[in-house]
Structures are given as structure tokens and as C-alpha cells.
Amino acid sequence: MERSKHHHMTDRVKVVGKDALLTVRLKQQFGNFRLDIDFQVPAGLTVLFGFSGAGKSLTLRSMAGLLHPRQGYVAIGEHVLFDSAAGIDLPAQERHVGYVPQHYALFPHLTVAQNVSFALPEQAAHRGWRKRREERQAQHARVDELLAALELKGLERQYPATLSGGQQQRVALARALAAQPRLLLLDEPFNALDIAVRQRLRDSLKRFQRRFGIPIVLVTHDHDEAQQLADTIVALQHGRVAQAGSVQDIFFTPATPDVARLVGQQNIFGGYLATPADEEYSPARALRVEWLQSEIQTQLAVAQESGDDRYWLPLPDDVSWSASSPRAVISGCIRNDEVLLQRLSGNTMPPLWSAHGTVRWVAELLEAQTHGASVRLLVRPCRGKHAGKEQDRIHSVLELYISRLRWHEIETMPGECLLLEIGPEAIHRFAGSS
């Protein structure tokens, strides 16, 4: 009896194989907020990514069994935690899912060692003292191993209040792991930490995940965090899954305007297929821009009045356009780090199209800010070289990033005009648009 129970405990560690899938489907109305989640991802490090209020924490807590949605299905590999159709809804105690909330929720009245051994079962009094001592020693060894693995040696007797944020985080991880969970849920685990140490601790979390091979679901709204950690990103928006995929998928080919904004692609446009006026190098078909929209300036601007022909975008190569009906609105984004910038020299306007399939826009520089190794520019497309009359401008602003080196070559003052060269690789069309 004792032996079988013991085996059951140790079995739990390795239940989730490398190729196991994490399936989450949840449906629940929370007041005015509707949660309707549906994703299935490989059980690696999954990042639930979204703005605050997207439903990330609700999803996490529903997976932990702390909330009980009316409808849904949650499973890790073959372990079903919740299946409303089959009437299965394991309580949090039986899910074997580790949960680390935002501020770690360490037990303030317990030392580091006591926090970590909190989950360990107490020895039943009816067993022989020898048996109990053996078990106690085994438990002690386990706690010791965890403390060593998470670099908490020497802190065993300290209380949480005396620890740094990073140490607290590691204690919370050790405590969750001590219960031998099948899955680890981390709610914004780096939020409570100083920005300076976040990057280093993210690296160590990644190492930790590889070492213990435990599936992790992590909630964040931070770009860097998502890119640095995720095997799979599940982008949430308004309580729904907007897109799920690799870091590359989400950040390079966002499926919707919402996801584009979430990953920092602010230059969103709408337009339709048309044939530009016959000029040198003009393509047979291109995108005629109807509107440009950016979160930077909230007003939604009409890019051009009818008859104006200056705002065109080249067609990206990788998409088949034949199916698109003419006049159907196509939406996408201009990738903020794929636009070439040049000084506008002389008084002559360069031709609209270039030999290598790029289109040229003139834009007034509004602001330039250092942003890590790059420079963030806000530019406003305009018609002529001298930004002149108000009606000649469009009111939308593009956000562009260029390297610092390039910025020093261009050296333009705010108020002056730049030449933007936009090639097909800078254009991303949202999958959802016709």
C-alpha cells in the first residue's frame, strides 16, 4: 500500500512527454467580459500574450482550477483536468498544476525551506517510526535538491520578506516544483522585478525549463519577454485567441490588426488592388492605400482624396493576389524596421517607382528617439518636399525603426523631409483580410 502510493508520487514527474499537447478550451461569461478560449499547443514554454484585460489571467486561473468556467476542456497530454461534456472538473488540489501568481505569494510566516516543503505530504502517524524517518529523510533530500537547483542554498532559514525579488521568484518556483506538477503556470513572473535583472532571470527561467523539462504556461504583455522565452505564443485579444504560433509567426506575420498592434507593428493600412498610372518602372498591379491608421495618433486618416495618386504600396511576393477581387479592401501593416530611409537631396522629386520594385514616399520627420540599439522615428507622409499646406498632409503617422548607424548617415532634423523606400518585404497582409 505504502509502496504503491510512493510510486504514484514519483510517476507524476515524467508523465508529460516531449511531444505532449496542451489543450485549452474555455467558455465563460465574467460579468461584461466574455472568455472564449480555444488553443492546442505543444507542451513546451507557452506564452499567453496580450494587453491587460485580454483574459490572460482568467485563462491561467481556470487552468489551475481556481476558477471553474461553465464550458470547456483542459488537458495536458492524456491527463484531462477539465471536461465539461464528460462532467470532469478536478479541484485545484487534484490537478497537480503548479501556480505562481504575480507577486509569488510566498507564505510570509514560513522560512524558505518551509515554503518549499509546504506541499510535501505529512507522514501518517500510524506508520512505524523507522518508515517515517526514512520518508522524512527522502523529503529532506528532495527539498535540498530543489534548493540547490534554484541557487537557494544558504537562504533556507530566511523569511520571504528578507529576500530580493529574484530570490523570491526562485523560492516560488521551487515550492511549485516540490509538488511535482505536470504543468507550471506563471502569471507575469517578471513584473515584480527591477527591469535591470529581468533579462538575466528570463534566461535562467529558460534554462530551468529545459533542465526540468516541465511544460510552462506564462502570462505576459511584454514583447521582450514573449520573444525571449516562448516556444509557442498564444496571442489573446478581448477574451479570444487572436493567433497562436511561433515567435516568428506572431511577430513577423501577425494575423490581425490587433495582433499587429500587440507586437508593436503600428503602421496599419487598408487599400485595394489597382493599376497605377503608367510611369517608369510602375508595376501592373499594386496596392492603392485608402487609409493609414496608427495608435500613435489616434485619428483615423484618409490617406488620399479621390484623384490623388501618390500613396501606393508594392505587392508582397509571397501572397497570391489573383483570388482577390478588385475593390475588395485589403488590410495589412508596413513593417516598422523594413523601410529604407534616405535624405531628400536637391529640389527634384525622385520618381515614384524604382527599378527594384520599391515605392517612394516623402515624409516629414516629427520625432527621433533613441531606442536601444536603434532609433525610433515618427514620420508623417506628405505630398511634396516642402510639407506646406495643411490639406496636403495626411494626418497619420508612421512609426519606423532604423539602426543608429543609419540614423547618423541620414542626420535629419525634425520638420525636414525624408525619402521612404518601401519594398515588397516591408508589406505584410493580414491573413484575415480578403
Partner 1 sequence: MAGTVSVIHMTGRRYGSVSSSLAVPALLLMLYLVIPVVYLFFTLPWRDVPGQLADPQAIGALITSLLSATLATVLIALFGVPLGYLLARKEFPARGLLTLLVYLPLVFPPVVSGILLLLLYGPYGLIGTPFASAGLELDSSFAGVVLAQIFVDSPFVIIAARSAFETVDPALEQVAATLGKGSLAIFWQVNLPVARAGILAGLLLGWLRALGEFGATVVMAYHPYTLPVYLYVQLSGTGVDAALPLVLLTLAVSFIGVGLVLWFQHAGRQREGQ
Closest CB to partner 1 among residues 118, 252: 118
CB of 180 to partner 1, least distance (A): 10
Contact between 95 and partner 1 per CB under 8 A: yes
CB 299 within 8 A of CB 327: no
Q: How many CA atoms lie within 13 A of 432 on its CB side?
A: 11
Residues 249-288 that bind partner 1 (CB under 8 A): none
CB of 109 to partner 1, least distance (A): 4
Binding residue (CB under 8 A) for partner 1 from 99, 190, 208, 291: 99
Closest CB to partner 1 among residues 68, 395: 68
CA angle 300, 365, 353 (to 5 degrees): 80
Residue with cell 517608369: 280
CB 101 within 8 A of CB 184: no
Classify burial at 58, counting beta carbons within 10 Å of its beta carbon; exposed 0-12, middle 13-18, buried 19 or more: buried
CB of 26 to partner 1, least distance (A): 17
Cell for 255? 494575423
Q: Locate all alpha helices (DSSP H) within 2-70, ordered by sequence.
A: 2-11, 56-64
CB 281 within 8 A of CB 301: no
CB 226 within 8 A of CB 40: no
Classify burial at 108, counting beta carbons within 10 Å of its beta carbon; exposed 0-12, middle 13-18, buried 19 or more: exposed
Binding residue (CB under 8 A) for partner 1 from 13, 15, 21, 66: 66
Residues 131-190 that bind partner 1 (CB under 8 A): 159-162, 175-176, 179, 181
**Which of 384, 417, 426, 399 has the alpha carbon at shortest distance from 287?**
426
Task: Compute the distance between CA of residue 211 and CA of residue 13 in angstroms, rounded to an integer.
Answer: 13
Q: Give the number of other Cβ atoms within 10 Å of residue 180's Cβ.
A: 19
Binding residue (CB under 8 A) for partner 1 from 17, 91, 384, 414: 91
CB of 67 to partner 1, least distance (A): 10
Closest CB to partner 1 among residues 97, 344: 97
Contact between 61 and partner 1 per CB under 8 A: yes
CB of 172 to partner 1, least distance (A): 8
Sheet holding 417-422, edge to edge: 340-343, 417-422, 359-371, 374-382, 398-403
CB of 432 to partner 1, least distance (A): 37
Choices 35-43, 58-66, 274-282, 314-322; region in contact with partner 1 by CB under 8 A = 58-66
Closest CB to partner 1 among residues 178, 400: 178
Task: Compute the distance between CA of residue 322 and CA of residue 210 in angstroms, rounded to an integer.
Answer: 45
Determine the size of the site formed for partner 1 (CB under 8 A).
32
Contact between 93 and partner 1 per CB under 8 A: yes
Contact between 212 and partner 1 per CB under 8 A: no
CB of 62 to partner 1, least distance (A): 12
Choices 38-46, 93-101, 315-323, 328-336; region in contact with partner 1 by CB under 8 A = 93-101
The pattern of x and - marking residues 225 through 254 that bind partner 1 according to CB under 8 A reads ------------------------------
Contact between 15 and partner 1 per CB under 8 A: no
CB of 24 to partner 1, least distance (A): 16
Strands 286-293 and 88-89: unpaired
Closest CB to partner 1 among residues 215, 314: 215
Contact between 107 and partner 1 per CB under 8 A: yes
**Which of 401, 405, 395 has the alpha carbon at shortest distance from 378?**
401
Longest CA pairwise span in the chain (Å) = 95
DSSP letter (8 states) at residue 298: -
Closest CB to partner 1 among residues 161, 323: 161
Residues that bind partner 1 (CB under 8 A): 61, 64-66, 91-103, 105, 107-109, 118-119, 121, 159-162, 175-176, 179, 181
